[in-house]
Amino acid sequence: MTARSSRPSSRTLRLGIGLGLAALLAACQPTASGSAGPSGMSVSGASSDEGAPGGPAAVRFQPVATGLHAPIGITNAADGSGRLFVNEQAGTIRVIGRDGSPKGDPFGDLRDLVLTGGERGLLGLAFHPQFGANRRLFVDYTRRPDGNIVVAEFRASADGRRLDPSSERVLLTIEHSQFSNHNGGQIAFGPDGYLYVAVGDPSRSAQDTGTLLGKILRIDVNSAPSAGRAYAIPASNPFARGGGAPEVWAYGLRNPWRFSFDPPSGDLYIADVGQSAWEEIDRQPGDAPGGANYGWPVMEGGHCFAQSGCDPARYVAPIAEYGHDLGCVITGGYVYRGHGQPALDGVYVFADYCSGRVFSLQVDEGAVTPRQVLQAEPGLASFGVDESGELYVANANTGAIYKVVV
């Protein structure tokens, strides 16, 4: 899909995203509320919107674990163990047990492989949907010594308690040595069983379908590899037969730090970190074909970024955005599908790394209505879900993991 489906309406909350760890944040702090700069619906207006189609007016963070070192990812193995897995930026994978305590020994230690600092590190972790039987898992990291992006497969021990560091099988290496930022890093299995990989765009190459930068990739790690690759290319990928890199599923993205799927529908939610003005949330319906073009670097959110040649109708519009008066780095979340917080059912929860603002986005009732639901500490780097669909968030600055509750 390449046509821009709609323009953001007056009910769209306008926000913005980008992973900013440590020094990066000093360059993109949000302006004070009410100061000059891009803004859309005010936070107070969003929070008190009488027409909001459901969703709670506020959420809370319930402490789960502390003492972690720059936790930037949360996931589960769907193996019945009830474990939460947290990837720390420097390259370790920690386990949070049912009692909420981090286990003493890490599940995996890849620090010898990972180049860390700034926006680099162990950026993504995904367990195979049949991990309980095949012990396969996948990571996305920036490698030593050059900073290139690596997507690799590992195996865990037979009991599933430890990653075997000697089992690495590199699937994909992306040249990124000249840029320390805009790595993307999220990886996740979609409902179709394919592995999706987010890659940032440090060189404004996102409109070039021949490069992997500024894209969501989609690869098959279950079938026999395609010629010259360590994985197969799904036949339904938009450029599988030419016209671009066959791995590309979606393009026109700046830095898709975090994305997620909504299980009932298969909808894909992409939080794309903005440049200097706007943070955005893009959504691809679960039954849509690949090839969506989200506009960067011609568009930033729903606004022309390029000085010339900007035709918004050519691109897919975000479903929500916010200006840098509310933050500066969007951290994408999840549509809640657990059972413990029924008031959150069908609500997409996300945050801003710089400002600590937490937002919800109602997506089930035929309208997109965002609202601020919590003011937390800055540093919210990633959301994740457990096997039951309960929602968690990691603060990279404080080393804490929280459960999101009403």
Residue 30 has a pLDDT of 40
* % the chain with pLDDT above 90: 80
pLDDT at residue 309 in the model: 84
294 and 253 Cβ atoms separated by less than 8 Å: yes
Q: pTM score, two decimals?
A: 0.90
Q: Looking at the predicted structure, is the pLDDT value of residue 3 above 80?
A: no
336 CB-contact burial (10 Å; exposed 0-12 / middle 13-18 / buried 19+): buried
Extract the tokens encoding 74. 């949360």
Written as one string, the DSSP assignment of 71-131 is: EEEEEE--SSS--EEEEETTSEEEEE-TTSPBPSS-SEE-TTTB--BTTBSEEEEEE-TTH
Residue owning tokens 């690949």? 290
CB-based contact 293:315 (threshold 8 Å): yes
Phi, psi of 345 (to 5 degrees): -55, 125
Distance CA 84, CA 98 (A): 8
Annotated domain spans of the chain? 22-50+71-341
Average pLDDT over residues 128-141: 98
**For residue range 78-131, what is the model confidence (pLDDT) as tens digits?**
999 999 999 999 999 999 987 777 888 999 999 999 999 999 999 999 999 999
- How confident is the prediction for the chain on average, in pLDDT? 88
Q: Of the candidates 147, 129, 145, which has an alpha carbon nearest to the alpha carbon of residue 200?
A: 147
Q: Is 73 exposed, middle or buried (0-12, 13-18, 19+ CB in 10 A)?
A: buried
Q: Which fold does the domain 22-50+71-341 belong to in CATH?
A: Neuraminidase (2.120.10)
Q: Which residues, at least 6 apart from 172, have a Cβ–Cβ distance to it below 8 Å?
A: 149, 150, 151, 197, 217, 219, 230, 231, 247
Residue type for position 402: Y
